[in-house]
Amino acid sequence: MIVLGIETSCDETAASICSNGEILSNIVSSQHVHKKFGGVIPEIASREHEKYLNVIVNSAIEDSGIKLLDLDAIAVTQGPGLSGTLLTGISFAKGLALGLNIPIIPINHLEAHIFANFLSEKNLNFPFVCLLVSGGHTQLWNVKNIDEYYLLGETLDDAAGEAFDKGARILKLGYPGGPEIEKIGKNGDPKAIDFPRSLLGKKSLDFSFSGLKTSLLYYMDSYDKNDSVTINDIAASYQQAIIDTLTIKLERAVEFTKSKNCVIAGGVASNTQLRFTIKNKLGINVYYPSMKYCTDNGAMISFLGEIKLSQGINSEINFSVEPNLSLV
């Protein structure tokens, strides 16, 4: 089977071709226009998707070596995400599916992030615990099988990616904040400042990052550039607080479920220090997607789309966007 995947849930316009579990092409175009605003402007994001979607889909088809008429189905992100950007992708996908008279498969973006792990790790088996860390979500899932997901915990306020993005804004770094903080944090001391790790009690599997962000804000209010502590030290310490919190919660979830395997997924999973810390701390099998499949991409959509198609799952053409779609 050959499936085209389309992803437009936020500020990446992405398309990919998957055939029999293999990714034949994966084209991602990130919208740099948002950098000057320090965050994604939904209206601009929708217009950018409209401008480039046709080109990106055509490139994905060309790159894969297949022809448009070879497609068996189109998979497209239904949610969660920004309603306008999701609508752009879904409208495009519906038009193409109607024109080619092939099935269309709405995809849950969160489920696709989790399944990106199978792209890099063919030997990954169910069950496993997944730490899903993106710009909009921070959740712990007990993944027993496809379609068998149990939520163990989630953030009560900001997502981990959001904590990185907001922290970067306070430090006057660029957007997206995660890679910026990681970059300068490499030259800093993660122990320079003891930022709070909000653990919400001994057994909690939930997260909270808003206190950490406020703590950084207060720290910067009284920060003097002539201090011996550098901006690199502050970034490294802030990043360490996020990483420690995520690692402790994942460890608790693994203990609670007695799992032998765990994975991380989503944009924040591309953080090298997070990957390293989790691998070192947890005494079980730890998997993560290759870097290109952590942040938003079309490969995870086409890959999951093909799996759904093989299960006989597709949809009527009249499905709508689901900006708040959850996994269960």
What does the binding site for Zn ion look like in residue numbers (CB under 5 A)? 134, 296
Using the minimum distance from each CB to ligand KG4, give the nearer residue, 50 or 165.
Answer: 165
Yes or no: say if 248 and 197 are a contact pair by the CB < 8 Å rule: yes
Site for ligand KG4 in 228-247 (CB under 6 A): none
270 binds ligand KG4 (CB under 6 A): yes
134 binds ligand KG4 (CB under 6 A): yes
Question: Looking at 15-23, 100-108, 175-183, 196-204, which segment touches ligand KG4 (CB under 6 A)?
Answer: 175-183
Using the minimum distance from each CB to ligand KG4, give the nearer residue, 165 or 322.
Answer: 165
271 binds ligand KG4 (CB under 6 A): yes
Using the minimum distance from each CB to Zn ion, give the nearer residue, 81 or 103.
Answer: 81
Among 5, 89, 153, 161, which residue sits at the site for ligand KG4 (rule: CB under 6 A)?
A: 161
How far is the first Cα of the chain from the last one, in angstroms, to the nearest whole number? 28
322 binds ligand KG4 (CB under 6 A): no
Strands 128-133 and 138-145: antiparallel
Using the minimum distance from each CB to ligand KG4, give the nearer residue, 182 or 309.
Answer: 182
Using the minimum distance from each CB to Zn ion, give the nearer residue, 109 or 166.
Answer: 109
Beta strands in the chain (DSSP E): 2-7, 12-19, 22-30, 73-79, 104-108, 128-133, 138-145, 148-154, 261-265, 285-287
**Sheet arrangement for strand 2-7:** 22-30, 12-19, 2-7, 73-79, 104-108
Among 295, 300, 308, 321, which residue sits at the site for ligand KG4 (rule: CB under 6 A)?
A: 295
Question: Looking at 15-23, 123-131, 176-184, 221-229, which segment touches ligand KG4 (CB under 6 A)?
Answer: 176-184
Number of helices (H), then strands (E), belonging to the chain: the values are: 9, 10
74 binds ligand KG4 (CB under 6 A): no
Yes or no: say if 242 and 113 are a contact pair by the CB < 8 Å rule: no
87 binds ligand KG4 (CB under 6 A): no
167 binds ligand KG4 (CB under 6 A): no
Written as six digits, the tokens of 269 are 């999973």
Could you tell me how far CA 49 lies from the centroid of its own chain? 18
Q: What are phi and psi of 285, to 5 degrees?
A: -70, 125
Distance CA 310, CA 304 (A): 10
158 binds ligand KG4 (CB under 6 A): no
Half-sphere exposure of 91 toward its Cβ, with a 13 Å CA cutoff? 11
Q: Which residues of 166-205 are buried (b: 16+ CB within 10 A; e: fewer)?
A: bbbbbbebebbbbbbbbebbeebebebbebebbbeeeeeb
Using the minimum distance from each CB to ligand KG4, give the nearer residue, 73 or 264.
Answer: 264
Among 165, 206, 233, 322, which residue sits at the site for ligand KG4 (rule: CB under 6 A)?
A: 165
Among 79, 84, 106, 176, which residue sits at the site for ligand KG4 (rule: CB under 6 A)?
A: 176
Number of residues binding to ligand KG4, judged by CB under 6 A: 19
Residues that bind ligand KG4 (CB under 6 A): 10, 134-136, 161, 164-165, 176-179, 182, 266-268, 270-271, 295-296
